[in-house]
Every structure is written in structure tokens, then in C-alpha cells.
Amino acid sequence: MTEATPRLATYPLTRERAFDPPDELARRRAEAPIQRMTYADGHEGWLVTGYAESRAILADNRFSSRPELLHSPIPQRGEFRREPLTPGFFIRMDPPAHTRYRRLLTGQFTVRRMKTLEPRIQEITESRLDAMEREGAPADLVESFALPIPSLVICELLGVPYEDREKFQRDSAVLLNLDSSIEDVRAAVQDLYSYLHGLVTMKAEEPADDILSGLVAGGELTTEEIGGIGLLLLIAGHETTANMLGLGTFALLTNPDQLAVVRDDPAAVENAVEELLRYLSIVHIGPTRTALEDVEVGGALIRAGESVTMSVGAANRDPERFEGGDALDVTRPAHGHLSFGHGIHQCLGQQLARIEMRIAYPALLRRFPNLRLAVPAREVPLRSNMAIYGVHRLPVLW
């Protein structure tokens, strides 16, 4: 049955509407939640758009994250994706290598640890709102609010000087831009890695109370590995939450009744954040895994060596799991969404991201009850060309 389904030529990236995954993915999900897809290099792999099927694959360690086994679902940068890893880049490793790195970090990101950061995150948020008020409307919400808050927080946690942000934000933009040439991506990775490696070397001489210093003092990892981990956490720690704050605010401004709930009902905020995570699904492509042996999923037989690309956005809108999931409803039970992934690679920083969002959205909406777009919604530039979706800018008035 699955064999007879027309094959999709590579993974669609163009979103017809700002907040919805590409329509093609919803059409495919209605046809068959798991089906064949031709990859950019001609590989005959799979596309998974169903919630249950995606969750099952993400939880199954017979599917590998290793880059050398991976086929790219998009033509851009297929070659780069298979290149050898930066040391310590554990999201592209399988157990037991992955387990060793992750275990050294999880103690730093526990629910309780993250809660102790609340007062500092509130302080950072308020200071950004003060600055917006001082500078006056209009403002680009990305530059003045969505990007600086998570950037400041992850810099302080890791022990990366925030003054260096222009450098790492520029490099990470090149890295995440799907249209960047392979040469530019290589150069950006090398540049970021050298920067972090240098920083880690300094931490060995002058340790401080931060995660990178802690990893150095732990003595279990090389300077190279800690540099690679720093690179991963720095990018993952600010690009993701920044885009959730930017795109999430845009979505709320477009849905004033939903915005009012987040602004006026503190008890609703926790769930509203989960629903925004589900509804917006900012992971724009994948994740992709490769079967290490033959595995049957949802009636399809995935052969060893075949790549499987899931769509977090399509899975999070699967009507079998989230009824009426194409609508933003901040009161819907949204737990169980796949926006932080699932399985052993589920986001290490998710509890930090939750706290940042739970503080930032209501603080913004309460400080500026008349917050509104400064341009027509269709003129807001969308990040369709980036690995992490969102808005490039969000011009606002208040």
C-alpha cells in the first residue's frame, strides 16, 4: 500500500501561511502518515508526518543520528551534513557516545536548577522592556526583546561574554541559513569553534561559576570536546527561544482573544506556552534518522540504511492526536507535542526555554497592553530559508 503512494521529491520548505507547516505535508499526512520520499541525493527514504509514527521512531534507538549514515531531505548542504563531526557535538551521536556527553550536562539543566534562574530571567526581561520604553516605538521586537533575552541567559549560564554576541550571532545566522554556501558554513563553524575553544582554554586558567568552567574542572573532557559542546549549547540556547518569542508574539497579535488569555490569566500561561510550542513547531526540517536494522513502523517496513525524515510541524497538527490542531487554542491540553523532540535526544534546554517563555510573553503583553504590528501582517519577513523557522524582524508599536 505504502509502495503505491506517489513519491514526494524532497522535503517542502515553503509555508503558504505564516504559522502553518507547508500544505504539502498536511496533504501527505492525510494520504499516509508514513510514506516513501526521494531524497536530494536520489536516496529512496521515508517521510513521516503522523504523530504516533514520529514519536515511535524518535523513541527507537534502532534509528541513528550519525551524520555519516544520513541522507539529506533537502538539496541544500547535503554534502555538509555528512561531514565529520565537531568534537563533542552529541546531538549527532548514538549511545553510548551520546550518553556520556549528555550525562555530564543534564545535572546543569534540571527543573530545579532552571527554577533558580527565574529571578535573573525576570530581571533581564524587565530591563529589556525598560529599554524599549526608553527608546520608544516603533521597535523591532526581535532585536530589542526576543533575541537579547535568551542570548543573555545562555551567555551567563555557559560563561560566554555577551559583548561578543555580534560575532556569534553572525556566525550562527550563516550556519542556520539554508541558502549559505558550504564554504561559508564551514567557515562559520570553524570561526565559532575557534572562538569557543579559545574561551575554554581561558576558563582552564581563570575558572568562573559557569557551565564551561564546570566542564573544564570536571576533567573528563578535552578542551576540543568542551569547545564543541559550547558551540552546540550556545546556538541551541538562543536561536530557538528567540524565534519562539518572535513568532509567538506575532501569532498572539494575530489572535487577540488568545493574546488576552496570556496577558490576563497567569494560571493559563504554562499551558499557553506548550500550545505555542505545538502550534508553531519552529524546527523547520526534520529531524532525520537512519535505520540501523529493518524496523516496521505503522505498517511500513523501513530497511537498514534507509533515512527517515519526520515533520515536527505536521506531527504536531495530526488530528489523530490534537483535534482541531490547525487552530491556536492556548487552553487546549497541548502536552506531548514533539517540539522539543522525543527519545534520547529530546532537548536538553527545554526546561530553561519553558521558563524563559513563561516569563517573557506575559511580561511583554502587560507592559505594552496596546502592543500591535507596525506593518501589515503579510509584510513581516518570515524565516522560510532558515533551519529554525520564525520571523526575521517583527516591527511593533505600543
Partner 1 sequence: MKIKADTGRCIGAGMCVLTLPQVFDQSEDDGTVVVLDAEPSADLAPAVNRAVQLCPSGALSVEE
Q: Could you say which of 294, 346, 369, 372 contacts partner 1 (CB under 8 A)?
A: 346
Q: Give the residue, chosen from 42, 84, 107, 324, that forms a contact with partner 1 under the rule CB under 8 A.
A: 107
Q: Which amino acid is at 313?
A: G
State which of residues 27, 103, 167, 372 lies at the interface with partner 1 (CB under 8 A). 103
Q: Please state the separation of Cα 252 from the chain's center in Å.
A: 19
Collapse the DSSP code of 159 into the 3-class scheme (helix H, G, I; strand E, B; otherwise coil) and give the result. Answer: coil
Contact, 315 vs 50, CB < 8 A?
Answer: yes
Pick the binder of partner 1 from 14, 110, 181, 222 (CB under 8 A).
110
Q: HSE (CB half, 13 Å, CA atoms) of 280?
A: 28
Q: Measured from the CB of residue 295, what is the shortest distance to partner 1 in angstroms?
A: 16
- Minimum CB separation of residue 182 from partner 1 in Å reads 32
What's the min distance (Å) between Cβ of 315 and partner 1? 14
Site string for partner 1, 350-389 (x = CB under 8 A): xx--x-----------------------------------
Question: 59, 131, 204, 377: which one contacts partner 1 (CB under 8 A)?
Answer: 59
Closer residue to partner 1 (CB): 31 or 118: 118
Interacting residue with partner 1 among 228, 341, 362, 390 (CB under 8 A): 341
With residue 300 as reference, give the H or E element that holds it: strand 300-302
The helix (run of H) or strand (run of E) holding residue 193 is helix 182-205
Q: b or e along 262-288 (b: 16 or more beta carbons within 10 Å of the residue's beta carbon)?
A: bbeeeebbebbbbbbbbbbbbbbbbbb
Q: What angle do CA 120, 122, 127 make, to 5 degrees?
A: 95
Residue closest to 182 by CA, chosen among 284, 30, 76: 76
102 binding partner 1? (CB under 8 A): yes
Closest C-alpha to 158, from 102, 118, 91, 109: 109
What's the min distance (Å) between Cβ of 353 and partner 1?
12
Gap between the Cα atoms of 387 and 152, Å rounded: 22
CB of 296 to partner 1, least distance (A): 18
In angstroms, what is the minimal distance from the CB of 161 to partner 1? 27
For partner 1, which stretch binds (CB under 8 A), given 103-111, 208-216, 246-254, 360-368?
103-111
Nearer to partner 1, 36 or 342 (CB): 342
Residue selected from 335, 372, 377, 381 as contacting partner 1 according to rule CB under 8 A: 335
> Which residue is listed with cell 521597535?
139
Between CA 392 and CA 134 the distance in angstroms is 23
When binding is defined by CB under 8 A, the residue of 138, 207, 343, 395 that contacts partner 1 is 343
Parallel, antiparallel or unpaired: strands 44-48 and 307-310: parallel
Does position 106 bind partner 1 by CB under 8 A?
yes
Q: Is the CB of 26 or the CB of 273 nearer to partner 1?
A: 273
Give whichever of 77 and 354 is closer to partner 1, judged by the CB atom.
354
Burial grade of 106 (CB within 10 A; 0-12, 13-18, 19 or more):
exposed
- The residues of the shown chain that bind partner 1, judged by CB under 8 A, are 58-59, 99, 102-112, 335-336, 340-344, 346-348, 350-351, 354
